Amino acid sequence: MAKSNALNFNLPSVDDLFSTEESRAEARLEKVINLNPSEISDFPNHPFKVRMDAAMQEMTESVKQYGVLVPALVRPKPDGGYEMVAGHRRKKAAELANLTEIPCIVRQLTDDEATIIMVDSNLQREQILPSEKAFAYKMKLDAMKRQGQRTDLTLSPVATKLDTAAQLGRQSGESRDQVFRFIRLTNLIPEILELVDNSVLKDPETLQIALRPAVELSYIRPENQRLIAVSIEGEQSSPSVKQAKRLRELDQEGLLNGDVIDGILSEEKREVDNVIISTDELNKYFGKEVTPAKMKEQIMTLLDEWKEKQPPELAKPEKKNTLEK
């Protein structure tokens, strides 16, 4: 039986046959084109909200009058159309202004390149919610790790992760630990995450949770987080850091339930009026060799001397005894 000696040839496409290297290079260059907003889909799992606030109203009025002055950044999709990388708010303002076209820079980008640009461009906003930072930092950290920006192969995976987080923090003006705190928020259920956002929006009519207590709650199982959300609403009280740590410990011990949560959140929080001076601040005046007890003694001596030098009118009046025999 004769063997087939057929050879496989990779034939050039029709486009390759009738295009020059110059034209192919030109096709790869960035270009600014006008696109209909309907041709541009949002970035997948875009963590930044396009809020219909006063700033959006101002942008819409500006777009109505002058158009979109700064081009958006998009990348072509394999199946046709374009995907927004930077410019979601400009696109929304154009839609509200009934514009049929907006200027866009078209750039070929990998998924990770697009993710990093998307996060960095949005971190320039004046107001960023904790939930936005949480998911943005997580997306960017994952993209940076996949890109292999750390080339020191002697480091363990944990050390590499920490180093990448430190790099992300430097780029964002945060410490490495703060980056991880925000990323922990991605483990919160939406009802509690919304309360964390409220702490930035500062609406006095809404319940709020600060970052540190929220981080503690993020370690609690989702089913118990739901019970906590219900209790916060019922008690109209959010947990302090100390209370959140207790809730976390009880969850780990399997002892957390609705009644326990209600009991903890109904506790009256003590108002502590303390003036806190950090060790670093004190060391500027005393030096590292001075013990805390000695620092306190010297501070009190200086305060007594200061008090004696004050004018009589600034001194506290003595309490009169109103009881007469």
63 pLDDT tier (thresholds 50, 70, 90): very high
- Say if residue 109's pLDDT is above 60: yes
Domain boundaries, the chain: 31-117, 128-265
Q: How far apart are CA 155 and CA 151, in angstroms?
A: 9
pLDDT tens digits, residue range 263-308?
Answer: 999 886 554 445 667 666 677 788 767 777 777 778 888 887 787 7
Return the CATH number of the domain spanning residue range 128-265: 1.10.10
31-117 shares its CATH topology with 128-265? no
Residue that is written with structure tokens 């923090």 in the block = 169
pLDDT tens digits, residue range 223-237?
Answer: 999 999 999 999 899
Q: What per-residue confidence (pLDDT) applies to 11?
A: 56
List beta partners, residue 83. 41, 75
Please report the beta strands in the chain, taking only residues with DSSP state E, as ranges in sequence order: 31-35, 40-41, 72-76, 82-86, 102-106
pLDDT tens digits, residue range 238-267?
Answer: 999 999 999 999 999 999 999 999 999 988
* Second CATH level (architecture) for the domain 31-117: Alpha-Beta Complex (3.90)
Q: At what angle are helices 88-96 and 54-66 packed, to 10 degrees?
A: 70
Q: What phi and psi values does residue 72 have, to the nearest 5 degrees?
A: -75, 165
55 pLDDT tier (thresholds 50, 70, 90): confident
pLDDT tens digits, residue range 75-87?
Answer: 999 999 999 999 9
pLDDT tens digits, residue range 160-177?
Answer: 556 888 888 888 888 889
